[in-house]
Amino acid sequence: MKKVKSIISFIDVLLGRFRKIFINAFTVLFLLILTVGIFTSIGSLFESDEIETKDMVLYLEPNGVIVDKAITRNDPFEEFEIFGSSTNQIELENILKVINNAGADDNLKAIYLDVDNLRAYYTSALKIADALYEARENGKEIIAYTSGLGTTNYLIASQATEIILEKDAYGSVLPFGFSRVRQYQKDFFENIKVDMNVYAAGDFKSGPEGFTRNDMSETDRLAWVEFVTPVWEKYKSRMEKGRGFDAGTIQYIGDNYHLLATENGGDDNETALAVGLVDKLMTRQEIRNYMIEKFGSEEDYEWPEGISGREYLSTLDKNENKSENKIAVIHVEGAIVTGAIDFNTAGSGGIVKNINKARDDENVKGIILRVNSPGGDVYASSMITNALEEFQSTGRPVFTSMGDIAASGGVWVTTTSEEIWAEDTTLTGSIGVYSIVPDVSPLENWAGINYDGVSMTKAGDIYDLSRGMNEELNKQFRENTENFYKEFVTKVADNRNMEYSEVLKFAGGRIWRGDKALELGLIDNLGTLDDAIYSMVAQLELEDYKVFSYDTEVEFEFNLNLLIQNKLPSQIQDLLNEISGLNRMFLSEKDRYVVAYCFDCGFKNFE
């Protein structure tokens, strides 16, 4: 026994020493990296900022999510990519600026395009595709290389002069259109004896259907198909134009792909080549040699000299505007919740702070509310509209510009605006609310867990959910949700100068495209963010002005969970990033029962 104890003691001491060595080594490594970073930054101050573009290839390889306004994260490790960084954000304005300038830049030999790691909603994707097509029409050669593309990324790549698919890739090119498949868990919760008490206001408010049904409702199917079909028609038209296909070719490929693949031995890559979705199949070594053959290289086995999209962006002129007349663009991007702004999170605390900055700046002549949000917490949405009303009380206007999506709570925050602009493919509407209150008491009773006690008031018993849902509380939750819905519809009616009954006809939680929203009177005009700005400038009769937005910097925190997340498969990372705002909405310490959120709006619906 003593020998066993001695061995265990030895192992414990050994492990303790190993832990100390590991911690010390990690600390030394951290300080070394920090020191190198500091000296690198100091050294860069003495280096020339000039980037050569003459006879270069522009390597446009965007990696991240297209956003309106990027959140900067003060991450000392991001440049070194040691731990993996948070999700990259690419501002739509910047990538369009790069493509538009590159297309007319005679210094650049060509554009090498790789959009495998780009994620964008359809409205942004259509803009990027149009910019690439125009660059190609201007005579710029664009060579797209890919390991596999879905619908949206193929839309973008299809505007290239030629598309080359990696020969040995598993992914292939599969532009099969949009789909929307979700889990329906009604039977699951019944089987595990959990009552999901759902209170939804609006016949088309499909968000909670996953808890109440085992299949897609007809209202949800109708709204989705009517929304997305014209968008799919736009996609097909752009793809066919880019590839020189006859009208109907993309639909034919999608409907008959299983037969076409069989004709090519089941090989997806050979099928893509045979039907003309791509021009060539090459390994990575072959594409490198192909680029060298076309554009030359100073050394063997080295890619042609070039610059990245980020480097090229830094060479473009930044207009110095010293006008004192300012138009503030306030961004509402991501799930609307209380608290700070973060990636995919429109924190009402940070947004209200920005609105108040604009309020206190007498040079700010008006606010453009730029909305790219599927909605969120009703309380947080109200905080934003309250701050906007206070700004408007100073006699200055608020206009709204809707981006890819402005639905549910994303509509709520627009209800103080004098003008509302959207694009024809903007996803908007979803005017409805719902709340979900899980009751686990049946499961606990089944497992033999019971609650009992006394309370000094009847309310103390009614509001104690540990003993399960009761009739009084069930009635209150239902009435509370319906009252929020009435308030939502009333806000829209007042803003649109409509009767309450008129708004009810297109409310109900139903989603609408921007062009249809214009017909219904939900918005005033179709146009871009720039169009909304020009409209405000004209109304204010400004001879000169400058447009700005407030930057948001998130302090870096070493997060072990984030470190682990970054090592997960990309599909799981995508899911975690998409629900980052929802985590705060539903899982915060402060209970939130009523939300105005559009679950039809996730990225996966449009790939």
Residues of 500-522 as b/e, b for ≥16 C-beta within 10 angstroms? eebbbebbbbbbbbbebbbebeb
pLDDT at 21: 60
**Do 483 and 396 belong together in one domain?**
yes
Tens digits of residue pLDDT in 497-535:
999 999 999 999 999 999 999 999 999 999 999 999 999
**Do 402 and 479 belong together in one domain?**
yes
Average pLDDT of span 352-359: 97
**Do 373 and 478 belong together in one domain?**
yes
| In the predicted structure, residue 252 carries a pLDDT above the cut 90 | yes
**Do 296 and 331 belong together in one domain?**
no
Q: Is residue 545 part of a domain?
A: yes
Distance of CA 39 to the CA centre of its chain: 36
Tens digits of residue pLDDT in 75-102:
554 444 443 344 689 999 999 999 999 9
Number of folded domains that form the chain? 2
- Ranges 36-45, 57-66, 93-102, 112-121: which has the least confidence: 36-45
**Do 441 and 577 belong together in one domain?**
yes
Average pLDDT of span 8-13: 49
**Do 419 and 524 belong together in one domain?**
yes
Which segments within 7-94 are labelled E, that is strand? 56-60, 64-67, 72-74, 89-91
Q: What is the CATH number of the domain that holds 525?
A: 3.90.226.10
Q: Residue 292: pLDDT band by 50, 70, 90 thresholds?
A: very high
pTM, to two decimals: 0.84
Residue recorded with tokens 């060595």: 21
pLDDT at 555: 56
| Rounded-to-integer distance, Cα 366 and Cα 355, Å | 10
Range of the domain at 283: 56-175+277-315
Q: Residue 592: pLDDT band by 50, 70, 90 thresholds?
A: very low
Q: Is residue 401 part of a domain?
A: yes
Contact 213, 268 (CB under 8 A): no
| In the predicted structure, residue 428 carries a pLDDT above the cut 80 | yes
| In the predicted structure, residue 311 carries a pLDDT above the cut 90 | yes
**Do 375 and 403 belong together in one domain?**
yes
Q: Is residue 40 part of a domain?
A: no
Q: Is residue 197 part of a domain?
A: no
- Checking phi first, is residue 248 left (phi over 0); if not, alpha (psi -120 to 50) or beta? left
Distance of CA 190 to the CA centre of its chain: 33
pLDDT at 317: 78
Rg of the chain on CA atoms, in Å: 28
**Do 533 and 444 belong together in one domain?**
yes
Q: Is residue 356 part of a domain?
A: yes
Whole-number average pLDDT of the chain: 85
Q: Is residue 239 part of a domain?
A: no
**Do 495 and 554 belong together in one domain?**
yes
**Do 281 and 344 belong together in one domain?**
no
Report for 32-46, 205-219, 543-557, 593-607: range of highest mean pLDDT:
205-219
| In the predicted structure, residue 2 carries a pLDDT above the cut 50 | no
Considering 296, 315, 334, which residue would you say is the last residue of a domain? 315
| pLDDT greater at residue 29 or residue 384 | 384
Contact 130, 153 (CB under 8 A): no
Contact 180, 511 (CB under 8 A): no
pLDDT at 301: 84
**Do 537 and 563 belong together in one domain?**
yes
Average pLDDT of span 250-266: 96
Q: Which two tokens stand for residue 248?
A: 């109907």
pLDDT at 606: 42
Q: Is residue 587 part of a domain?
A: yes
Q: Is residue 211 part of a domain?
A: no
pLDDT at 267: 95
Give 334-349 as a DSSP string: SEEESS--BTTEEEHH
Q: Which two tokens stand for residue 583?
A: 């985590």
Element (H, E) at 594: strand 594-597
Distance of CA 558 to the CA centre of its chain: 24
**Do 552 and 574 belong together in one domain?**
yes
| In the predicted structure, residue 603 carries a pLDDT above the cut 50 | no
